[in-house]
Structure 1
Amino acid sequence: MENQLTSELASKTSPLVPREVPQLPLVDPQQAARARRRNTIVSGVLLLLASVAGGLFFSLGRVEKVAEWKTHEVTRGEMVVSVIEHGVLESAENTRIVCRVRGENTVTWAIKSGEEVKAGDELVRLDTLVIEETIYEKTKYAHWSKAGSMVLGNMMRKASLAIPEYEQGRFQVEVMKKQEMIAQRKSDLQTGRNFENHAKEMLARGYESEWNVVQYGTEIKSLESALELEKTELDVLENYQRREKLAELKGEYDKWSAKHYAEVERSGANDSRRDRAIEELGFCVVKAPRDGLVIYPSMTKWKDEPDLQVGKSVHKDQVLLLMPDLAKMQVKIGIHESIVDRVKNGLPVTVKLMDRTLEAKVSSVALVASPAGWWRGNSVKYDTVVELTGINGLKPGMTAEVEVEIARLPAVLRVPASALLETVSGYSCWVETGDGPRRRRVELGDRNDLFVVAKSGLQEGDEVILNPLAFLEDAQLEAMKLFERKEEQQRQQKEAERATAEAR
């Protein structure tokens, strides 16, 4: 601007000088000084306005940023350490009504869950067509088997009589016949010998020919051979044929006896099947064993309908209905494995229902964890039972919020759990000060769902920023460091596993 004013002054003082010819400017010293002072003042004003505007912008931006986060005052007082789980009321003692019919059977009618019944009232009806056909078939088979067993029994008795009939009858007759034949052979032999002796005497006197004597000798040898044959046959009959025939007869008896007893067993089995089918026909109508409330069994976590339903099939020993004892109710919850060691029998419990709050105590804690499943997020939990005995108005299926008081800590410094952030060096929080947020490393103690005990790092009255990760760049940087560190650890673990696998 100063150059512009000098140029204008020169053009006024020397109007006759041509513009193409360069000339030295002619400047008034006082006017130039006033121009410099004016320029300095203007520049200073502009700088002042810029600084004020920047300060206001920064201040407004800071106020807006501070207004975004919330703080909580760290206080000292009593803190209850508890675990809250949700469960469903159930009876501690249930009368189970099970299906007593074998196989798969279709439900034709079922009582509604939650009905009050009297002893002897019908609860479930099952289809009886298959059982009735079974009764007819088994009755027919039972009669057939009985008739067959009677016929085979007669054959067995006949075979049993054949043994003494042969041993004391036919065998003795055959022996006597053989003995008679032997006696006859002996008599014939003696007669032949007498004729031979007489013929020899007659030959000596000259009254008989020598040929006749030889013929008598031949006949005697033939009679001797016949006698020996009869004796041998008698010996075979007494010592071999007798035993062979007795063995044959006894085998025949054993055969018919086995068939008879097998048919008797078959007949008994068919009778038993028929009688069991008749008994199961009565089981197709399920009746209430006592007065009380009837409910369906608890539905499994992954199904949206009960097992008992008209048109569906049920099997033997399946639990159809439950009759709970309303005077002995309980609620079963799952305690996570990380804190189950702190839950003991007798700890105070607060049970919140829809219309009331009950005070109770832990009754039992399972020693074995419940099977983990996808419906539990694959977390390991232990069943914990809280008994609610002698309380009127409780019904199975009511939802309950159960708070188990693990510990009660007096006069401890409490910091909200949402104000804490895990970092590489441990847990930290950010305290609001006059100079802005300041990070504090905190040593933690026990905790509940809302607060954590601060052993060190904080003082009573400190204002801690809630959810610092969403507002503070420092917190975000610390979280990123922890994330990178965990990624590096995972990478190293994978490399170690890969090296181990390659070494094998």
Structure 2
Amino acid sequence: MPLSSPTKRATLSITVSERGTVESCVTVDGICELDGAQNKISYLIPEGTKVKKGDVVAKFDGSEIQKNIAQQEIKHKQALTRIETTQQEMEIERNKGESDLIAAKVELTLARLDLEKYEQGDYPAEITKQEGEMTLKKTNMQAESAKLEQYKALMKKGFKTSEEVRIQASKVAAEELDYSSSVQLLEVKRKFEHRRKTTEYSSKADQAAKKVDQAAATAKAQVAKAASEYEAAKATSGIEEQQLKTYQAQMEKTVIKAEQDGIVAYSNERYWDPSSQVREGATVYSRQKIFSLPDMTRMQVKVNIHESLIKKIKAGQKAEVRIDAFPNIVFIGTVKSVSQLADSSSSWRTGGVKEYTTIVVIDDLVGQDLKPGMTAEARILVGELKDVLVVPMQAVAEHRGDFFAFLIVGEDIRMQKVKVGDNNEKLVQVLEGLKEGDVVALDAHARAAAHFKAEDAKDGGADEKKPETTPAPETKGP
């Protein structure tokens, strides 16, 4: 009799298995953040070194940057000095403008006072004086004229000589001339000198007023110019300071420190190209990846799940993880994420079949030293069928889309058509055709092949397809 197994009820665990690669849950990359494409590496910690957060991993040659910092510090100090100078010049211009404006206003006040003084003081006083002198000269002229008449009368009586009359007549003529000159001078003062001096003083007042406006405008312009130079100096200083900070920041970036605990792995993907190797003395470009720093205390497995199975995978499902380097240890994991998009990088090696990247986090490393790149298998528990009828996978064979089992009854073995459901790597669910307690042979594949051989020959050898022992095409084997 062949090996056999009873049909029984059990809990059927449905799993999806796939092989993948171990990697760190958290990997921090060390990036060259220096500008340019000729950044020379001056120091590298040996690859594989375990480092702590804050440890120095790599250094770049910073001699040129240090030279730039020294030159920029001089420029920055000059810019600061320029700020102080222009600020003082601005204050000087402001004070000078205020002084010039005050002087111009004083000159305007004095000019207006001179005009007012002449019109209300000097001119009336001069006129009054001139009129008084004219009145006095008129009185003198009249007195001398009366005296002349007396001399003429006395000369007729013989008391005055003709010479005395002639002399007195000369005095009268002189007084008349003096009076006439005084009258003319008064007329000149009233008609011409008053208008001339009024015009002169008014012009001086107008000129003084213009000087006030000019002084105000000049002061404003000079202060604005000085303020503009001050603002320009501050802007220049800001630019020079920012450039200095840029150089200083670049100097700080000549040292790359570990951002977390981990093992240093240098980025040498192009291993065939010596010029691109990360090593001391090599030059790298800005934003080039120098090393990776995986956190070795938190590891995960990255697997690609076939598109026919991805609908069964959900975040939070538990999984068993087996790593080739530790064949006797079963690690427990949890599905962390399932990609929403197919992995385009894998389509070329899978013949166009779409696969979806799935991350399984290893919950407990159980003290083992896992390393990135190790090969692993993740068996994800996608469901459980409780109290279902099951038989071993070897007890069912497939032929032309139908499934068959071989039922052992006493000494007889007969073929029984069955309807199957879900399965895993060991058991398959039986929906119809068998009942609990039925004993089935475990060599269904061989028996089905022998049974259908003659029938296939009668059909002209058509459909030479061998029976399959895998009842569900989406199941992954171990």
TM-score over 0.5 (shorter chain): yes
How far off is 1:74 after superposition? Answer: 11
Find the residue that maps to 2:19 and give its secondary structure. Answer: strand
Counterparts in 2 of 1:282 and 1:381: CA distance versus 1, 3 Å: closer
The whole-number CA distance in structure 2 between the counterparts of 1:233 and 1:442 is 128
Counterpart of 1:125 in structure 2: which amino acid?
A: K
CA-to-aligned-CA distance 1:402-437 (integer Å, 9 cap, x gap): 22233455542566899658x8xxx446999xxxxx
Distance 1:199 1:340, change over 3 A: same
CA distance in 1, matches of 2:106, 2:311: 93
Matches within 5 A, 1:364-379: 364-366=335-337, 369=340, 372-376=343-347, 378-379=354-355
Secondary structure, counterpart of 1:89 in structure 2: strand
Tell me the amino acid that sits aligned with residue 364 of structure 2. L
Output the CA distance in 1 between the equivalents of 2:242 and 2:134: 89
Tell me which of 23, 39, 43 is aligned to 1:90: 23
Is the aligned partner of 1:445 residue 2:421?
A: yes
Is residue 106 of structure 1 aligned with residue 84 of structure 2? Answer: no
Is contact 1:345-1:361 (8 Å) kept?
A: no
TM-score normalised by structure 2 residue count: 0.62
Q: Is structure 2 residue 219 aligned with structure 1 residue 249?
A: yes
Percent identity for Structure 1 against Structure 2: 17
Q: State whether residues 344 and 365 of structure 1, in contact with CA within 8 Å, keep that contact through their aligned partners in structure 2.
A: yes
Match of 1:412 in 2: 390
Q: Distance in 2 between matches of 1:218 and 1:449?
A: 139
Which deviations, in whole Å up to 9, do the C-alpha atoms of 1:91-145 show, x marking residues without a partner?
A: 3355664545455552424344322357876421223354234324423432442
CA RMSD of aligned residues (A): 5.0
Q: Secondary structure at the match of 1:253?
A: helix
Aligned 1:242-391 pairs, distance under 5 A: 242-288=212-258, 293-296=263-266, 309-310=278-279, 311-315=282-286, 320-335=290-305, 338-343=309-314, 345-366=316-337, 369=340, 372-376=343-347, 378-391=354-367
The answer to whether the 8 A contact 1:115-1:293 is kept is yes
Corresponding position of 1:57: none
Structure 1: distance between partners of 2:60 and 2:13: 54
Matched-pair contact (CA < 8 Å) for 1:85–1:334:
yes
Distance 2:190 2:6 in 1: 145
Deviations 1:136-161 (A, max 9, x none): 44234324423433442342222122
- Residue number in structure 2 paired with 1:190: 124
| SS in structure 2 of the partner of residue 159 of structure 1 | helix
Equivalent position of 1:475 in the other structure: 463
Instruction: Tell me the distance in 2 between the aligned counterparts of 1:289 and 1:360.
Output: 28
What are the Cα deviations for residues 437-480 of structure 1, in whole angstroms up to 9, with x where unaligned?
xx9997552245798656457995554449x9x99854379xxx
Residues 335 and 246 (structure 1), Cα distance of their counterparts in 2 relative to 1, 3 Å cut: farther
**Which sits farther off after the overlay, 318-327 or 195-204?**
195-204
- CA distance in 2 between counterparts of 1:268 and 1:350 reads 59
Structure 2: unaligned runs, 5 residues or longer: 143-175, 407-414, 466-478
Q: Of the candidates 131, 135, 152, which is equivalent to residue 69 of structure 2?
A: 135
**Uncovered stretches (5+) of structure 1, i.e. residues with no partner:** 1-71, 433-438, 478-504
Gap change, CA 1:350 and 1:290, over 3 Å in 2: closer
Q: Is the 8 A contact 2:34 2:286 kept in 1?
A: yes
- The aligned amino acid for 2:47 is S
* Residue 401 of structure 1, aligned match among 337, 355, 377: 377
1:211-254 residue CA offsets vs partner (Å, 9 max, x unmatched): 9857744543442464266347536745x653552243133213
- Distance in 1 (CA, whole Å) between partners of 2:268 and 2:138 is 125
d(CA) in 1 for partners of 2:303 and 2:30?
Answer: 25
Equivalence for 2:149: none
Q: Provide the rounded CA distance (Å) in 1 between the counterparts of 2:117 and 2:395.
A: 127
Query: 1:194 corresponds to which letter in structure 2?
Result: T
Q: Which of 104, 107, 113 is residue 179 of structure 1 equivalent to?
A: 113
